[in-house]
Structure 1
């Protein structure tokens, strides 16, 4: 905090204090309060402000689950942008090839209108612009022959537990077989 004091001939003074901070987008909308304290005041004077931090867009592309396959329908990519001031332009493009038929960009969403084919594999980019700058994000889309079989975590846990149990049973069995047995005395030995 920086303070400057200006003294006047009538024995008064003006004190100006500045509290400087580096604003981030996460501080946007937060309330800060300036508190004035002085012995001559009956109570503190408070001035509240809501921070309005402005920043260029932060962009992310979502919607691809890694399981896009030939024939799949109803898939979309979503261009998520956090910006202040709000974005005024959002543009979809493809980096590595021709823009295939059946793509419709509307409301920050890229709709894949037709069932998927291998032609849709590629790198898709969303560029978002506001008055402070332009940012982009991209997503690599791979179209496979068919859906991936996803193994559930319960099945994996069951297989691991089963393997550990099988090893335990084998260890017990081997221990029993290889442990030398004491010879029991017979009744003939006592006669």
Structure 2
């Protein structure tokens, strides 16, 4: 007796199976649906019944082991629970789903002929937070290589790198491990000391996460040579004052030792050294000199100097009451500018007066020339001569 099995495309519902000779209006049918569940979640497997007459219903796992015989448990796996058993529906729950549970679950209806449907169970494995590793220690002027990995996903996860909201292009590779995949994404870029402490983020996306992302942040650790700079507690000091000098240090790794010294002399006996601080209480003129702090790490060394000049109390008061040098310089510049302007005006006036004198002198020469000519000619009247001599 022939039995026809009608199956839809993957991911769609399976149609019931029925005997060919059975009139459609009176035949029993069973229907099942494909199920997708996240690993560790609960899968719901249903068998829908049509024209059920009380015949035997059996549900089997992919290994063809019977889970339930009608309403009776047949397999001792407490993860499977019978939720509903009615003339229209048989429903079971599978808790803590595992990859090993994947496959086809059989819904079988035993009448004169066996009717069955297969519900395919798919288990998804979303990635955990990505793992970020650095290949070797980053040093300024060199390159850093970071590796982001999602060691177990199904299907393949997508990994991306971001820095300051800008995506960094990396090289992706994958490895298949039976039913899961291991994904890695590797990036390389140059680094300087200013990059130390910057954050780089690896982001994983996956169908099972439903639009959410799994992220891991990596703080760049860039090593560089140290710098030192002495900062005094006050700029002008007098006898009896207390002075504290701080050696401001940078460097990665940070120098663990700061060496204080005085050029061509030893530190004052009463001075106190506490790491980056050098304190000299009750200053005296004998404390004058050039002080230095030195630091080093495995990438280099650095030092800075500070010239200490201790004044007597009277000199300090006078120095503090003087007009600041910047103001004096501004006043002097203004005075020089005004003097230059006055000189320019004087030169311009002098040149103009000289030009006027030369013009009148030339005019006078013309008049005297005409008078001389009239005198020599002698033929003109005396009144004309007088006009020239008056």
Answer yes or no: same fold by TM over 0.5: yes
1:122 aligns with 2:295: no
- 1:99 is paired with a residue whose SS is coil
Conserved? CA contact 1:69–1:144, under 8 Å: yes
Aligned-pair Cα RMSD in Å: 4.3
Conserved? CA contact 2:287–2:308, under 8 Å: no
Instruction: Kindly state the Cα deviation for residue 18 of structure 1 after the two structures are TM-superposed.
Output: 1.0
Corresponding position of 1:102? 270
1:5 aligns with 2:178: no
Change in Cα spacing, 1:105 to 1:91, as seen in structure 2 (3 Å) is: same
Change in Cα spacing, 1:144 to 1:175, as seen in structure 2 (3 Å) is: farther
1:161 aligns with 2:334: yes
- 1:73 is paired with a residue whose SS is coil
> 76, 86, 92: which one pairs with 2:244?
76
Of 5-14 and 97-106, deviating more is: 5-14
Instruction: Kindly state the Cα deviation for residue 69 of structure 1 after the two structures are TM-superposed.
Output: 6.8
Structure with the bigger percentage of strand:
2
Gaps of 5+ in 2: 1-168, 361-386
Of 6-15 and 165-174, deviating more is: 6-15
State the Cα deviation string for residues 85-119 of structure 1 (Å, max 9, x = none): 66654442335322322311125211121324244
1:135-154 alignment runs, 5 A limit = 135-143=301-309, 151-154=324-327
Gaps of 5+ in 1: none
Change in Cα spacing, 1:5 to 1:54, as seen in structure 2 (3 Å) is: closer
Give the TM-score, by structure 1 length.
0.67
- 1:160 is paired with a residue whose SS is helix
| Greater relative contact order (Cα < 8 A, sep 6+) | 1
Cα distance in 2 for residues equivalent to 1:161 and 1:108: 45
Conserved? CA contact 2:205–2:214, under 8 Å: no
1:58 aligns with 2:58: no
Cα distance in 2 for residues equivalent to 1:128 and 1:108: 13
Larger radius of gyration: 2
